[in-house]
Amino acid sequence: MDNVLEIKHLNYSVEGQDILKDINLDIPRGTYLTFQGPSGSGKSTLMRIIASMINATSGEVLFNGKHLSDYEPTLYRQKVSYAFQQPTLFGKTVKDNLEFPFLVRDKEFDQKLVTSYLEMVNLNESYIDKSVNDVSGGEKQRIALLRNLIFPPEVLITDEVTTGLDTDNKVIVHDLIDRFNEKRGVTVLRVTHDESEIAAASHKVTIESGEIKDV
């Protein structure tokens, strides 16, 4: 199967402490992988390395067969997108956030497209002009995810994005991510401690003490 990511003998240390130890993992294109394991096991560190937010101490990550260092960072992050547990909306309005993906690609803001995306997560066109201070936590997470997905990446990394959300918001977020995985072929790497998400996952990777224990 065609691998979108290949992780080879990857290690990461901080001040002499080994956080990740000889990680080897092939990630097939279009898959939905759930990463589980105790807090502090290295899951989020691995995701940040894959997202080119920090550099491994040794080893390599290949994306579409090329080393991360061969990619221009801004272009790479358009292809491998990271969604955080605590979403941050910048600027003054929701539009400032949903316009950003267009600006970095030198494209004109498409309100019709953005409205269709908002409707995917049970929000309407009126949200475009809302102040970022007037949206709830669940709405903020949905908007932040749309910011990642308006131009679908090849890989979406979600790091505990449903933590703190109520059941309705969790369902909306799950449905959105599932839609892009199944219909757009976006590869999803999910970090979660949520037992229901882990139980429902079809493909799991367990990381303990910086090592892959089970795939």
pLDDT at 104: 94
Give residue 1's pLDDT. Answer: 60
Helices (H) and strands (E) in the chain, counts: 7, 10
- pLDDT tens digits, one per residue of 90-146: 999 999 999 999 999 999 999 999 999 999 999 999 999 999 999 999 999 999 999
pLDDT score, position 214:
79
Domain total of the chain: 1
Owning domain of residue 121: 3-214
Dump pLDDT digits (tens) for 53-99: 999 999 999 999 999 999 999 999 999 999 988 888 999 999 999 99
Question: Could you tell me where the DSSP H helices lie in the chain?
Answer: 43-50, 73-79, 94-103, 111-120, 137-149, 167-184, 195-200
Query: pLDDT by residue (tens digit) across 9-40?
Result: 999 999 989 999 999 999 999 999 999 999 99
Query: For the segment 164-205, what is each residue's pLDDT rounded down to a tens digit?
Result: 899 999 999 999 999 999 999 999 999 999 999 999 898 999
Q: Looking at residue 209, which CATH number applies to its domain?
A: 3.40.50.300
Per DSSP bridges, beta strands 211-214 and 58-63 are unpaired
Mean pLDDT estimate for the chain? 95
191 backbone φψ class: left, alpha, beta (φ>0; ψ -120 to 50): beta
Task: Return d(Cα 133, Cα 91) in angstroms, integer.
Answer: 10
| Residue 65 CA: distances (Å) to CA of 4, 57, 69, 113 | 8, 20, 12, 32
**pLDDT tens digits, one per residue of 155-164:** 999 999 999 8
